[in-house]
Homo-oligomer: A and B are copies of this chain.
């Protein structure tokens, strides 16, 4: 099993204590709770709050073995995985859940200068960039347009909305509590989307609510604004307008292209996602499953692909594991059917949107409480859950408690 994201983890959990030998391969020794990376990037949570060692997760499951290393190739015919250290691992069944990578849609300079938010390293780097820009503006306001840094977020999906909202709150804390010498009327967070609404996956009402709430909190929301170019100092819009920015956050989508799954000898669909059969196996290789963000997981047999969400990863990973057990038991595999449990996005303190199946929606404080509860329940491991709760509670009653550490300079001290 390659990849310890939501999909790989769900699959391994299903296979734990079953009569199979499971080898989990990942080049990180931890699982990352990706939906909260934006809080790490905006100094609300600490990296270790959203990361959990894989060995710890499976410490009571003797048939699950972890192998730290980067899988570089899969030979489907020989059923053999090659790792970066040239070691090889043979398999009977394989589940590939290697996720995706930021997809920059061919926008000039985006790959070099925009900052994605898909890995823990992304989040740490963004945090260092944001906090570093705030300190730089405090020391040298003359270097900033208008005396204050502007942060641009590209992409108005859940990640973009959550990041923009959290950046605005961070600016507020920094200026009020940390007494940074930045003019609050001049510090800006700009959220850009090429489409005509936010939260395209949610209902229209919730998209409008998100835009209104963000605007009421000071975020500049600009719709129908495709980005033409990203540089080290800002973004240029399609109509030629230039926005100087201390950091450009990339929330504009992902692609499977550069990952291991992207190199699999298989058909690839939109965004490089691996095309799979209805049971999530590879065509011609019923012993190989591709799941999570890496695959074009069909919503139902023959249906459209699901969006790349944590829920889809968890359900598809579990499905693949069950099919392996069925095959071993000599039974036919079953097609995958996505059970929509709803979607959520937090806009900030006491404001979130929750959309449940059958059109039931929550927003505002109630949506936020639902968001909080669900994320805490899903966070892996009691220790992390408790500490995140303490962090959040403390941050709620007393904002300045966040881990606002600039550790970019740890490499040079």
Of the residues B46, B121, B178, B390, contact of A409 by C-beta under 8 Å? B121
A59 in contact with B138 (CB, 8 Å): no
| A105 beta carbon closer than 8 Å to chain B | no
| Residue-wise interface mask of A (57-72) relative to B, using a CB-CB cutoff of 8 A (1 in contact, 0 not) | 0010010010111000
| A112 beta carbon closer than 8 Å to chain B | no
Query: Which residues of B lie under 8 Å from residue A122 when comparing CB positions?
Result: 413
Instruction: Please tell me which stretch of A223-231, A277-285, A308-316, A397-405 contacts chain B, meaning at least 4 of its Cβ atoms lie within 8 angstroms of it.
Output: A397-405
B405 in contact with A53 (CB, 8 Å): yes
Query: Which residues of B lie under 8 Å from residue A405 when comparing CB positions?
Result: 29-30, 47-48, 51, 53
A372-413 residues with Cβ-Cβ distance < 8 A to B are: 381, 383, 386-387, 390-391, 394, 398, 400-401, 403-407, 409-413
Distance (whole angstroms) from the CB of A402 to the closest CB of chain B: 8
Distance (whole angstroms) from the CB of A397 to the closest CB of chain B: 11
| A222 beta carbon closer than 8 Å to chain B | no
A401-B413 CB under 8 A given contacts A62-B179, A139-B69: no
A131 in contact with B29 (CB, 8 Å): yes
**Contact-residue bracket for chain A:** 35 or more
A147-190 residues with Cβ-Cβ distance < 8 A to B are: 177-180
B394 in contact with A29 (CB, 8 Å): no
With most chain B CB atoms within 10 A of its CB, the pick from A48, A59, A68 is A48
Distance (whole angstroms) from the CB of A127 to the closest CB of chain B: 11
B413 in contact with A121 (CB, 8 Å): yes
Distance (whole angstroms) from the CB of A119 to the closest CB of chain B: 5
| A28 beta carbon closer than 8 Å to chain B | yes
Query: Which residues of B lie under 8 Å from residue A304 when comparing CB positions?
Result: none
| Residue-wise interface mask of A (39-53) relative to B, using a CB-CB cutoff of 8 A (1 in contact, 0 not) | 000000011100101
B67 in contact with A119 (CB, 8 Å): no
Q: Which 4 A-B pairs give the minimum distances between C-beta atoms?
A: A121-B410, A68-B135, A55-B178, A48-B403
